[in-house]
Structure 1
């Protein structure tokens, strides 16, 4: 997986389907597609510098992805209210075909990723 972009309430990740991603039907295993979508969701719901975890996720597989396909997962925030957020992720193939739709619900927990206040820097005058 590669991160293409992350911003407030959004994230874009991509991956190329390799031989180890294939299932017994010679298509990309749904678990890998779910992992791509879930990772985009995780970056999007943690993008406000508030620690967030998944509360509930669903995915609908629309079309198969095949060996060599480049998949792009685009996550966007639908709502963030209090400690709860809802995010939709579209997984598309390089030609734009829709592969899967994912919806993730997040719950904010205590803490931040980056301290809100940085300690003052002390000058060394020695």
Structure 2
């Protein structure tokens, strides 16, 4: 059995893809997840605003980690559905804050929601469904 602290750190680490995009996991616990990101020039589209795929990846990460924080360690729960509502354009170079919340975590299915803000403005929202693949999950 490994060092518990290291297991907990791995459990809430953003993973290599999210780290590559510059996402900073601040929290993932029973209350939900909190991630920050500072979009760089390479994250912008041709119109100079933050690419929708970058925003979707941030929402995907926040909902995924909110669900994983509610499940036993090691239980996979991949997304099977992600619905994104883009509310307004996000500017590059200004911090995005994404808050995720697990709505339900059952034996077979989990659901979550997340919202991205930039300053006091809502940028995008998502609702997700996750397949819970193994083990007892209800807590």
TM-score when normalising by structure 1: 0.82
Moved >6 Å (runs of 4+): none
Aligned residue-pair number: 111
SS at match of 2:78: strand
- Asked if 1:75 corresponds to 2:97, the answer is no
Pick closer, same or farther for the CA change 1:33–1:54 going to 2, 3 Å.
Answer: same
Per-residue deviation at 1:36?
0.7
* Correspondence for 1:21 among 30, 37, 43: 43
The whole-number CA distance in structure 1 between the counterparts of 2:47 and 2:132 is: 39
Q: What is the match of residue 90 of structure 1?
A: 115
Per-residue deviation at 1:4?
0.8
Q: What is the match of residue 104 of structure 1?
A: 128
SS at match of 2:83: strand
The whole-number CA distance in structure 1 between the counterparts of 2:135 and 2:91 is: 40
Larger fraction in strand: 1
**Structure 1: which 5+ runs fail to align?**
113-126
Larger fraction in helix: 2
CA RMSD, 1 decimal: 1.5
Largest Rg, 1 or 2 = 1
Pick closer, same or farther for the CA change 1:111–1:9 going to 2, 3 Å.
Answer: farther
* Correspondence for 1:64 among 71, 84, 89: 89
Q: Deviations over 1:17-55 (max 9, x none)?
A: 111111011100000000111011111111122321111
